[in-house]
Copies of this chain bind each other. A is one copy, B any other.
Amino acid sequence: VTANAAGRLMAAEIAEQPQVWHRLLTEAVDPIGEAAARMADRAPRFVLLAGRGTSDHAALYAKYLIEITHALPAGLVSPSTTTVYGARPDLRDVLYIAVSQSGGSPDLVQSMEVARQQGALTLAVTNNPGSALACAAEIHVDVLAGQERSVAATKSYTAELLALYLLLDRARGGDGRHASSLPEFGTQVLAFDELVRGVAQRYRFAQRLVTTGRGYSYATAREAALKLMETCYLSAQPFSGADLLHGPLAAVDPLVPVIVVVPDGAGGRAMMPVLERLAERNADVFGVGSAAALELLAGGITLPTGVPEELSPLLEILPLQQLALHLAIARGEDPDTPRGLQKVTETL
- Chain A residues within CB distance 8 Å of chain B: 45-46, 48, 52-54, 56, 63-64, 67-68, 71-76, 78-81, 84-85, 87-94, 107, 207-208, 214-215, 218, 226, 229-231, 233-235, 237, 240-243, 245-253, 256, 266-267, 270, 273, 277, 281, 338-341, 345, 347-348
| Contact A45–B93 (Cβ < 8 Å) | yes
A207 closest partner in B (C-beta): B207
With A52-B243, A68-B87 given, name 14 new contacts (CB 8 A).
A45-B45, A45-B90, A45-B92, A53-B247, A72-B90, A73-B89, A73-B90, A73-B94, A230-B251, A233-B250, A233-B251, A241-B347, A277-B340, A281-B340
CA distance A48 to B73 in the complex (A): 8
CB within 8 A of A73: which of B46, B215, B250? B46
When distances are taken between beta carbons in the complex, the residues of chain B under 8 Å from A89 are: 67, 71-73
| Contact B345–A52 (Cβ < 8 Å) | no
| Contact A247–B229 (Cβ < 8 Å) | yes
17 A-B pairs (CB sep. < 8 Å): A45-B46, A53-B246, A64-B85, A67-B81, A68-B81, A71-B90, A72-B90, A74-B75, A75-B76, A80-B214, A229-B248, A230-B247, A237-B237, A245-B347, A250-B338, A252-B340, A277-B340
A67 closest partner in B (C-beta): B81
| Contact B250–A235 (Cβ < 8 Å) | no
When distances are taken between beta carbons in the complex, the residues of chain B under 8 Å from A341 are: 247, 249-250
CA distance A232 to B79 in the complex (A): 32
When distances are taken between beta carbons in the complex, the residues of chain B under 8 Å from A252 are: 340
When distances are taken between beta carbons in the complex, the residues of chain B under 8 Å from A345 are: 245-247
A31 to chain B, nearest CB (A): 27
When distances are taken between beta carbons in the complex, the residues of chain B under 8 Å from A88 are: 71
A256 to chain B, nearest CB (A): 7
A228 closest partner in B (C-beta): B251
When distances are taken between beta carbons in the complex, the residues of chain B under 8 Å from A248 are: 226, 229-230
| Contact A235–B256 (Cβ < 8 Å) | yes
Known: A93-B45, A246-B52, A347-B245. A266 touches B75 (CB 8 A): no
| Contact B52–A64 (Cβ < 8 Å) | no
